[in-house]
Structures are given as C-alpha cells and as structure tokens.
Amino acid sequence: MAIRNIRTGDDACLYKTAKPVVNFDEKLGMLLDDMAQTMYEADGCGLAAPQVGILRRVIVIDCSEKRNKLIEAINPEIIETSGEQGGMEGCLSFPGEQGYVVRPMKATMRAYDRHGNQFEIEGEGLLARAMLHECDHLDGKVYKRLVEPTPEGYDED
C-alpha cells in the first residue's frame, strides 16, 4: 500500500468525468488499498479516484468513529434519495475550506465490490452526504459549486 498525492484546487482531473471500471483485477485492488490508506492518513471520510489522479469510477468511504467500516464502491450510482439536510462540507481536494451544502438526508447507492459483486447500501446523515459527495467527484463536480449561503441561526453542533 502507498499514500497517493491528493489533487487539489484547479487540477483538471477534479473536473472530468471518470470512466467505468471494467477490470476487477489486482491493479484495482491496489488502487483501493492505496485510496483507503490515503484517505485515513489525510483524516478524511471519503475519497474518489479522480482526487488521486485516476479517472475511474472508484470511491472509498469510512464515516465511522473508530475508522473501521470501510466502504469500497466501484462504478457506484445513487439510485434513490429522500429528505433534506444542510451542513458544512469540506473536501480533501480543498484543504482548509468549507461551505454550507444542502443534500438529501438519505441516499441509496448501488455499486460493485473489488471482486465484481454488486451490492446496495443505504446511508443517512453523514454517510449519505459522503456517498453523494464522492459520487459527484466521479462526474467532475466539486462541492464548492453547490455551496449556498449559511442560513441565519445555523449551528454546526
């Protein structure tokens, strides 16, 4: 495993659409391992392959307190959303920056694991936010383009 460089700011890779993964092989496994290590080292809760310069539809997420519930998702797609939540959001590709973003409260994602097995996962709150944020990266979208004015009286706690 290796820690990869996270692309930041205006790096063109962050604004391009990633291509689907077709080969579920050792190279994909190494990418997933590297992405997880990179995410944990950077103290993030999600990372998309374009953020490390790879234009493939691959994300890793871990929103758990103990950092022990890694989700690896290949060719993920959001298939259902509901509700609404607003909150401060940041991104490893924009260190030190945050903005108020409104997203669905719940999301269901369909994806494949590293072995090519399809699965679905439902997320609520932070997990839904992370799934949506990372899937946006795969389509060249960054949270900064979704930022809204912070509502009057908003409290992060």
DSSP state of 94: S
Q: Where are the domains of the chain?
A: 12-145
Express each pLDDT in 111-146 by its tens digit.
999 999 999 999 999 999 999 999 999 999 999 888
Q: pTM (2 decimals)?
A: 0.94
Averaged pLDDT of the chain: 95
Percent of the chain with pLDDT over 90: 89
Superfamily of domain 12-145 in CATH is: Peptide deformylase (3.90.45.10)
Q: Does 72 participate in catalysis according to the annotation?
A: no
Which among 72, 134, 148, 156 is annotated as catalytic? 134
For the ranges 8-17, 37-46, 63-72, 147-156, the lowest mean pLDDT is seen at 147-156
How would residue 154 be classed by pLDDT, with cut points 50, 70 and 90? confident
pLDDT score recorded for residue 157:
62
Average pLDDT rounded to a whole number, residues 98-108: 96
pLDDT score recorded for residue 91:
97
